Amino acid sequence: MSLKPIDAATVEKWLEAGDTVLVDIREAGEHAQEHIPGSHLVPLSELDNHDLRKLGKRKVIFHCKGGMRTTSNAGRLAAACEGELFEMTGGIEGWKKAGLPVKQV
């Protein structure tokens, strides 16, 4: 199964509208160094320990660093939750390339 691709600018608009959840699947150390404000950390290595179904039927957007982890694990991510599922193209690197803010330690 694949996730629907979505660009960073659209993700930002959806986050502002409040009907979207952005899930960062990178590892905790990566997230601690920099992350998209408002994103929820669910490391891919700990996916089985999280109940993403509690997010309900909202739009759920996954991202990693550049898109490879998200794309290669799309089936696993889709099986872990409900709702309309998306992959942010380019990951956090695409977000930064679009000139959008990240929180850095």
CATH value at residue 9? 3.40.250.10
Instruction: Check pLDDT > 80 for residue 1.
Output: no
64 among known catalytic residues:
yes
Residue 100 to residue 82: CA distance in whole angstroms: 27
Total of domains in the chain:
1
Domain that residue 85 falls in? 4-104
Tens digits of residue pLDDT in 84-102: 999 999 999 999 999 999 9
Among the listed residues 60, 64, 77, 88, the single catalytic one is 64
Q: Can you give the pTM of this predicted structure?
A: 0.95
Average pLDDT of 30-39? 97
